[in-house]
Amino acid sequence: MSDDEQPANRLRKELPDEVPPSRSPSADGPAGGLPGAARGERNGVTGRQRLLKGLWPPRLTRAQLIVALLLFGLGFGLAVQVASNSDSDSALRGARQEDLVRILDELDDRTQRLEDEKQGLEKQRDELENSSDQAEEARKQTLEKERQLGILAGTVAAQGPGITVTIEDTKGTVEADMLLDAVQELRAAGAEAIQVNGVRVVAGTYLADAGNSVTVDGNKINAPYRFQVIGKPQDLEPALNIPGGVVQTLEKEQATVTVERSSKIVVDALRAAERPDYARSSSQ
């Protein structure tokens, strides 16, 4: 057998000539044989520039925008709450011991008033249930309730122990919301009847600024503002003098506040009874 007929030589003839293997593109990076960074630098763009280009301008989706707004609102609300609590805490922290004792006494008095009211209602219920003449007992309670509601509604005059509050405002800095704070504080302390400068204050009373004056239910009043209040003087006066309360707020506005206790306060300013436009008794 000749050399050309040897199996190895015959196989070599059938195969094409060997070609030097080309360098694999994946060996050193993307096509072209250069790493990404090197190719980027060759094109004039560095990796840092490509990163900044990917981050800015931001591409926000609608969902991401909604979440961002919700988080902002939550953070703002928490900040306001913390600031409010800090102001309240600082006011109490700077209060004198006698002021703190007075605040605690006022809270105890409010709790006692609520308990007394509860016991009074329970007593009325028991009397109505146990009375031999329930119709007469119901009539008596109805008349008493009518009298109480008349005082609250301002349709009847009232007298009793209480205080007189006089607010001198020579600078013209007292505004309607400050007087409203005084009314609300007096109500919270158990005031049963209030009138200011001859105008009866009831549940629906509103106050508004009118230049250098104030209007109460549309009636213009001028300084000095004189509140006549029926209630327990021992509760009403401390309620106005608590740290950060009505008196301190008015004094910061350079107003002068005087509170006088009395065993007899007359509240005789009356309001006409008004029929509600829409509300009707459910018993009809």
Same-domain pairing of 164 and 261: yes
* The token pair that represents 47 in the structure block: 């990796």
Q: Is residue 115 part of a domain?
A: yes
Same-domain pairing of 214 and 177: yes
Same-domain pairing of 118 and 173: no
Same-domain pairing of 171 and 260: yes
> What pLDDT was estimated at residue 163?
96
Same-domain pairing of 169 and 74: no
Let me know: does 65 contact 57? Beta carbons within 8 Å.
Answer: no
Residue pLDDT, tens place only, 107-143: 787 788 788 878 887 887 777 677 666 677 677 777 7
Residue 126 amino acid letter: D
Residue pLDDT, tens place only, 18-72: 555 555 554 444 444 445 545 545 556 677 777 777 666 666 677 777 877 888 8
Q: Is residue 27 part of a domain?
A: no
CATH for 244: 3.30.70.1880
Same-domain pairing of 109 and 169: no
Same-domain pairing of 158 and 115: no
Let me know: does 221 contact 197? Beta carbons within 8 Å.
Answer: yes
Q: Is residue 1 part of a domain?
A: no
Structural domain containing residue 113: 65-130
pLDDT exceeds cutoff 80 at 273: no
Alpha-carbon dihedral sign for residues 11, 14, 16, 21: negative
Place of tokens 């600082």: 90
> What pLDDT was estimated at residue 12?
54
Residue pLDDT, tens place only, 237-271: 999 988 888 999 999 999 999 999 999 999 999 98
Same-domain pairing of 204 and 102: no
Q: Is residue 142 part of a domain?
A: no
Q: Is residue 60 part of a domain?
A: no
Q: Is residue 250 part of a domain?
A: yes
Alpha-carbon dihedral sign for residues 103, 107, 112, 114: positive
Percent of the chain, pLDDT > 70?
A: 73
Query: Among 145, 139, 150, 152, which residue's Cα sits nearest to residue 120?
Result: 145
**pTM, whole model, 2 decimals?**
0.53
Residue pLDDT, tens place only, 146-157: 777 788 888 899
Classify residue 44 by its DSSP letter.
T
Same-domain pairing of 159 and 123: no
> What pLDDT was estimated at residue 63?
74
Q: How many domains does the chain have?
A: 2
Same-domain pairing of 159 and 261: yes
Same-domain pairing of 119 and 165: no
Query: Among 215, 195, 193, which residue's Cα sits nearest to residue 206?
Result: 215
C-alpha–C-alpha distance, residues 73 and 67, integer Å = 10
Q: Higher-confidence residue: 94 or 111? A: 111
Same-domain pairing of 117 and 196: no
- Among 37-46, 78-87, 104-113, 271-280, the range scoring the smallest mean pLDDT is 37-46
Q: Is residue 183 part of a domain?
A: yes
Q: Is residue 28 part of a domain?
A: no
pLDDT exceeds cutoff 80 at 9: no
